[in-house]
Structure 1
Amino acid sequence: MPEPEYIERIAMGLFDGKKGLVVGIANDHSIAWAITQQLFKEGAEIGFTHLPDKDAARPKNEKKVRKLVEPLGGKFVIPCDVTKDEDLDAVFKKTEEEFGKIDFVLHSVAFAPPADLTGPVYDVSRDGFKLSMEISAYSLIAMAGRAKPILNEGGSILTLSYLGGETVVPGYNLMGLCKAALESAVTYLAHELGPQGVRVNAVSAGPVKTVSASGVGDIKKMFQLYETFSPLRRNITAEEVGKASAFLLSDHASGISGEILHVDSGYHCMGAPPTDAFDKA
C-alpha cells in the first residue's frame, strides 16, 4: 500500500466539491482506509473519527488515524465510541460546524467480544450479543438519524457487510447475525431516507486481511476457498473494495439504494464447487 503522500488527486474527480464523514479507520489495513484513499483521489473533503484512547497522554489510536489522513488533507479527526450518544452527538456537531451540509457518510464499524465471536452461536452470552449488535448494527441507525438533517439531496450512506450475514459461513458465528441485522437496517433506512433523496447501501466484501478478519476462525481456509471456488478463481483486493465503495458513494450510483453489492470475485453466486476445484485439492 502506497504511503499517503503519494496519492495524487484526479483532475475533475467524482468527489470534487463533495464533503463527508468516515467512521471506522483503525489502521492502514482497514477497508475504510482503502475506501478513503479512493475518495481522496477523487477530490473529496473528509472528516474522520478514531477509537477513543484509554490513555490521553499516549493517544495511539488518534495518532494512527492522523498519520494516515492528515498528509492527504483530512479536515478533522475526532474520537468516537459508538456506544455513547454524547460521542455521536459530538461527531456530527463537529461535522456540521466544519462542513455545513455533507454528501456522504461511510460506516465501517463492527465488533464482538472474542469469547463470543470464536464460540458457537448457541453459547453466545447475553451481554456479548447486546454489545455486538449495538456496535455492529445499531451504530449505523444511530449515525443515519444524526446525519439526516445535514445530508444534501443526492447524498449517500454506505456500510460494510459480508456474506455471513446472508448465509452460514462456519467460523463467522455471532458476526453473521450482526451483519444480517445490519443489512436489514440498510433496506429500512433506504426506504425512510429515500424521500429526502438520500441513498443507503452496503458493500459485501470478500475476505481481506484486516485486524477484524484475524479474529474470525479459520480465516486462512476462507482465503483458500475463495481462490478455489469463486468464478474469478482469486481473492479480492482492498483496492477493489475501495473502488466499488467509492462508486456507490458517488453520483454515478444515483439510482442505487437499498443494495447489498457483492465485491467477492463472484463467490456469493456459487451453489456448489466448480468442477476444477477438486483438481486443486
Structure 2
Amino acid sequence: MDEAFDQFDTHETKLNVDSCNSPSLNSCSATSGDNILVIGTSGLTSIGIKIAASCRKSGIRPIVTSRRQKFLERLSAEGYDARYLDFPGACDALADLPPLKGVVFCLAKTDVRELRDGLLTTSAENFSNTLLASCYSFIELTRRLRPRLEPGSSVVALTFLGSSAVVPGYGLMGVAKASLEQTVRTLAWELGSEGVRVNALSAGAVATPSSRVLSGFTETSKALAKGSCLRRGVHHEEIAAAALWLLSPGSSGITGETINVNGGLRSVIGPR
C-alpha cells in the first residue's frame, strides 16, 4: 500500500530584471495566460489542486497530473487539462506540453504500513522507493521539463516541517523531504543561469487525502496549530496563495529558499 503525499514591499526604484533575460518584470514567472504544470494531485482537498484552482482564478492555465484515473475524469469534467502521470512508470503526460512558466511538484510516495511502524523498522526497499518517488522524481521530472521551461519560470516543490524537526508519525517522509529541500537548493543553483527559479513551499499540517493516513495526524495538527505564533492552523487557501506568489513576478528575486506557511511555528521554542 502506498499513498501520494501532498504536502510586497513595493519601491519606486527601477528593478534590475536582467537575470530573467527580459525587459519586463511581468515576463519573470507566471502571469495571466501562462501555463503551469501541477504534478501529483490526489483529491479535491489536496494542496496541489487548491493551487491549480487559485491559478485558474488568476487567469493562469494549470495542467494537472494525477495517478488516480477517476479523479482525473472528475477534473476533466470541471474543465481542467488533466493528465495521467505515475512516476517512475507512465510519464506520457509530459510528451506534448506547451511552454511552461511554472511547475508545482506535489509528488511523493511511501509504504504507509512501514511509516506507521517507525524509522527503525524501515526496509531498504521502502527507503529506496520512497526517496525515488519523493525526491529523485523531482530531479528526473525537472530534467524532462527543462526544454519546456521558459526564461523566468518558477519551480515550486511542496515540503513539510518534518524535514527539519521530528513530527511523530512522519518518519521516513521527513528524511525524504529533507533530501527534497537540499535538492531544491542545488537545482536553484544549476538552473539559475537560465533564469529559472526553484523554491520549496513548506505547508502547515492541513487535512489532505494523504495526511489523513498518517498515524495521529489529528492530534499532531492540533498541537502544531496551538504552538504556532498565530495559535491556529493554516488553511489550504493560504498555502495556495503563497504558491501563487512564488509563481508570480512578485517573487522574481527569490530562489533556493524554503518558504514556510505554518503560522509562524518555526519561530517558537519552549513550552507551548
Q: TM-score range by the shorter chain?
A: 0.7 to 0.9
1:196 is displaced (CA, Å) by 0.3
Structure 2 residue identity aligned to 1:147: L
Q: Does 1:62 align with 2:102?
A: no
The answer to whether the 8 A contact 1:201-1:260 is kept is yes
1:34 lines up with 2:50 in the alignment: yes
Secondary structure, counterpart of 1:32 in structure 2 = helix
* Secondary structure, aligned partner of 1:20: strand
Give the number of the structure with larger relative contact order, counting CA–CA contacts within 8 Å between residues 6 or more apart: 2
Distance in 2, matches of 1:121 and 1:227, equals 25
Secondary structure of the corresponding residue to residue 110 of structure 2: coil
The C-alpha deviation readout for 1:213-256, integer Å capped at 9, x for no partner, is: 11222111112212321110000011110100111011111111
Find runs of 4+ consecutive structure 1 residues off by over 3 angstroms: none
Q: Which moved more, 1:61-70 or 1:210-219?
A: 61-70
Equivalent residue letter for 1:113: D
Identity of aligned residues (%): 33
Q: Which moved more, 1:181-190 or 1:220-229?
A: 220-229
Is the 2:39–2:105 Cα contact (8 Å) retained in structure 1?
yes
Equivalent of 1:105 in 84, 103, 106: 103
Rounded Cα–Cα distance in structure 2 between residues aligned with 1:91 and 1:176 = 28
Contact between 1:27 and 1:65, CA under 8 Å: does it hold in 2? no
Give the residue type in structure 2 aligned to 1:44.
Answer: I
Change (3 A) 1:169 1:251: same
Residue pair 2:112, 2:214 contacting (<8 A) in 1 also: no
Does the 8 Å contact 1:208/1:237 carry over to 2?
Answer: yes
Instruction: Identify the match of residue 116 of structure 1 among 95, 114, 118.
Output: 114
**1:47 pairs with 2:68:** no
Cα distance in 2 for partners of 1:234, 1:65 equals 33
Matching residue within 213, 227, 230 for 2:228: 230
Name the residue aligned to 1:248.
Answer: 246
TM-score (ref. length: structure 2): 0.85
- Does residue 16 (structure 1) correspond to residue 18 (structure 2)? The answer is no
Aligned pairs, number: 243
Distance in 1, Cα, partners of 2:221 & 2:82: 33
Matched, 1:209 2:213: no
- Out of 132, 140, 143, the residue aligned to residue 141 of structure 2 is 143
1:196 pairs, out of 194, 202, 208, with 194
Q: 2:88 is matched with which residue: 78, 83, 87?
A: 83
Aligned-pair distance for 1:46?
2.2
Structure 1 counterpart SS, 2:107: coil
1:232 touches 1:265 (CA, 8 Å); kept in 2?
yes
* Structure 1 residues 56-114: Cα deviation after superposition (integer angstroms, max 9, x where no partner): xxxxx33323423543x42x322111112xx33x222221xxx2x21111110111101
CA contact (8 A) 1:62 1:77 kept: no
More helix by percentage: 1
1:178: Cα distance to partner? Answer: 0.5
SS of the residue aligned with 2:176?
A: helix
Aligned residues of 1:199 and 1:256 also touching (Cα < 8 A): yes
RMSD: 1.4
In structure 2, give the amino acid aligned to 1:49: T
1:94 is matched with which residue?
Answer: 96
Distance 1:199 1:121 in 2: 33
Query: Gapped runs of 5+ residues in structure 1?
Result: 1-13, 52-60, 275-281
Any conservation in 1 of the 2:35–2:60 contact (CA below 8 Å)? Answer: yes
Q: Do 1:148 and 1:193's aligned partners in 2 also have CA atoms closer than 8 Å?
A: no
SS of 2:259's equivalent in the other structure is: strand
